[in-house]
């Protein structure tokens, strides 16, 4: 069976401030991180995204070399790419958004080329929930598995669209703060119950340096994050996690609890690389062998 993975999400310029330094405009965006991460495990990816004429073509070439098809990438020559600016606090688990300039993302009308139509796995990366649902509605064949990510920005600006998109997702990945915001519950167990009643049967709550929780049927699984000596920039860790999570599932062609547990470990391991350098630099260097070595560290860390 064709196990192509369709990825939609933002492709962006980011400006980042952390206690260890700051960057001018560097490449970011959910789809950029997801594609770099998934392609370590499953280099059979159909990208749907939009950028302006200012977006570097060599980054798009890098994605192509890693097995990402770009027929569904729209390049609007006379417009500007999405721009996001964020500042991290000392603990690096919390950040403030300083600027969100939607630019080409503001009126993005996603195109699904015919060659993408048989994608069996779909990753709805962070961008407007309206675009996320449009992508699902434009697929002629129902996918095997739809994983969705979102963030507080969309809860604050597009909650009705977000509610609808949640009904189309099998799995939602969000961070703990967003889970609390979405559900109105402090307890993550209660939050999980409420969020799963909104649509996604399976929920992953990311807790940054404190690992990730998986809620599936009546089971809960916890995966730690690797204690790292240096964390330079957490930007994209959530997207990298999501890319590893769905990349593993698409590569295996499975969606049972055991596969979800393995997928969480793969996502966490890839995210642990992402934070070691600024932007996409580190995740772009990682090979399948690097990943396997790190997964062995996760095993040692948590088996008893
Ligand atoms: P993460 O750190 O995994 O939550 O994701 C960081 C990435 O999300 C950055 O590279 C941003 O470009 C992107 N991003 C930030 N805000 C938004 C938004 N409102 N919609 C889509 N992508 C966003």
CA of 32 to the centre of ligand 1 (A): 10
| Whole-number pLDDT of residue 92 | 83
Residues with Cβ within 8 Å of 38's Cβ and at least 6 positions away in sequence, in order, are: 5, 7, 45, 123, 243, 244, 246, 247, 250
Relative to the CA of 83, which ligand 1 atom is closest? 12
Return the closest-CA partner of residue 211 out of 243, 260, 175, 182: 175
**The dihedral sign for the CA sequence 287, 289, 292, 298:** negative
Q: Is the CB of 127 under 6 A from ligand 1?
A: yes
pLDDT, tens only, 93-114: 789 999 999 999 999 999 999 9
Domain ranges of the chain: 5-302
Closest CA to 44 of 116, 135, 128: 116
67 membership: H or E segment, kind and range: none
**CATH homologous superfamily, domain 5-302:** Ribokinase (3.40.1190.20)
Q: What is the mean pLDDT of residues 139-167?
A: 97
The pLDDT of 122-140, averaged and rounded, is: 98
Q: For residues 179 and 172, what is the distance between their CA atoms, to the nearest angstrom?
A: 10
The answer to whether the CB of 153 is under 6 A from ligand 1 is yes
Atom 4 of ligand 1 has which residue's CA nearest to it? 238
Q: What value does the mean pLDDT of the chain take?
A: 96
Residue range 8-44, pLDDT digits in tens: 999 999 999 999 889 999 999 999 999 999 999 999 9
Q: How does residue 2 score in pLDDT terms, banded at 50, 70 and 90?
A: low
Q: What percent of the chain has pLDDT over 70?
A: 99
Measured from the Cα of 175, ligand 1's closest atom is 4
- Ligand 1 closest atom vs CA 13: 12
Question: Is 83 close to ligand 1, i.e. is its CB under 6 Å away?
Answer: no
């Amino acid at each position: 069976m064709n196990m192509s993975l369709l990825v939609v999400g933002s492709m962006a310029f980011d400006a980042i401030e952390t206690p260890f330094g700051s960057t001018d405009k560097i490449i970011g965006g959910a789809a950029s991180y997801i594609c770099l991460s998934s392609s370590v495990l499953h280099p059979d990816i159909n990208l749907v995204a939009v950028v302006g004429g200012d977006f570097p073509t060599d980054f798009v070439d890098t994605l192509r070399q890693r097995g990402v098809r770009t027929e569904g990438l729209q390049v609007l020559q006379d417009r500007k790419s999405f721009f996001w600016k964020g500042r991290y606090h000392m603990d690096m688990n919390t950040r403030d958004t300083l600027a969100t300039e939607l630019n080409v993302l503001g009126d993005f009308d996603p195109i699904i080329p015919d060659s993408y139509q048989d994608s069996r796995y779909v990753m709805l990366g962070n961008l407007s929930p309206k675009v996320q649902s449009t992508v699902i509605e434009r697929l002629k064949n129902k996918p095997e598995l739809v994983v969705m990510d979102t963030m507080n920005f969309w809860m604050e600006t597009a909650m009705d669209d977000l509610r609808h998109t949640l009904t189309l997702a099998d799995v939602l990945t969000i961070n703990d703060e967003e889970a609390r915001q979405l559900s109105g519950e402090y307890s993550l167990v209660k939050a999980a119950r409420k969020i799963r009643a909104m649509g996604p049967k399976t929920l992953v709550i990311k807790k940054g340096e404190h690992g990730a929780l998986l809620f599936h049927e009546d089971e809960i699984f916890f995966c730690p994050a690797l204690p790292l000596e240096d964390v330079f920039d957490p930007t994209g860790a959530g997207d990298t996690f999501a890319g590893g999570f769905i990349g593993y599932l698409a590569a295996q062609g499975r969606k049972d609890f055991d596969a979800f547990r393995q997928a969480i470990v793969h996502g966490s391991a890839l995210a642990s690389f992402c934070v070691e350098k600024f932007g996409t630099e580190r995740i772009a260097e990682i090979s399948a062998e690097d990943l396997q070595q790190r997964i062995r560290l996760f095993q040692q860390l948590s088996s008893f």
